[in-house]
Structure 1
Amino acid sequence: MAEPVTVSIADLRAALVRTLDATEKRLGPEVTLDMDYYWHLPVEEAFNMAGEPQTFTVGQVSDDLAEAVHNEHERLPEEASHDLSHLVGVFRALEFAARS
């Protein structure tokens, strides 16, 4: 088993800001995403190295944006995983757009 990895939220936040700044320089302040649906691998399977993933689901970028970005409800700490899951979909769509 691999050694645990510690991540600094402050360092991650700074890296995210740098990455979003670079993405904005490449794609502009608003990005039109030409795709909506994508394959999503549940996080439990993504980190289980004991076998190949067996379950794929479908994610939707428009739903991810509605849930994590446009929904301005109070963010409770125990709900962080829900928003992180939605943000992953948005970031993957941005990654796809930046590669084009």
Structure 2
Amino acid sequence: MSEQISVSLEKLQIVFNLLIEHLRQEAGPEISFDKDYFWSIPKEALYNVYSEPTDLTIGQLGESLSNLESILADSSKVMTYGFVWLADILKAVGLDIVR
């Protein structure tokens, strides 16, 4: 079953701003993680829910953060894959800093 899902970028921006402000109020201006490495599912298997992933890889929050910081240092390095690195960090925030 394949279903297309659309999302407004304006709505994403608004909800992201609301969530960041909530996090700032709850945790302050900076957050820390006590874990760095995590399991990552390759793109080809991520949305194939009918087959169990067999080829898990390892991701690293520090590496994702470093990649995002390089974008901050040089905006010519902006690429849509940056959302994947941002998602790594945001998922850790959502799972580890639950309030």
Displacement of 1:49? 2.5
CA RMSD of aligned residues (A): 1.7
Say which structure, 1 or 2, has more relative contact order (CA 8 Å, 6+ apart). 1
1:40·1:59 contact (CA, 8 Å) conserved in 2? yes
The 5 A counterparts of 1:10-89 are 10-68=10-68, 70-71=69-70, 72-73=73-74, 74-76=76-78, 79-80=79-80, 82-89=81-88
TM-score normalised according to structure 1 size: 0.83
List runs of 5+ in structure 1 lacking aligned partners.
Answer: none
TM-score normalised according to structure 2 size: 0.84
- Number of residue pairs the alignment of both structures matches: 96
Displacement of 1:99? 2.3
Q: Where has structure 1 moved over 3 Å in runs of 4 or more?
A: none
The amino acid of 2:7's aligned partner reads V
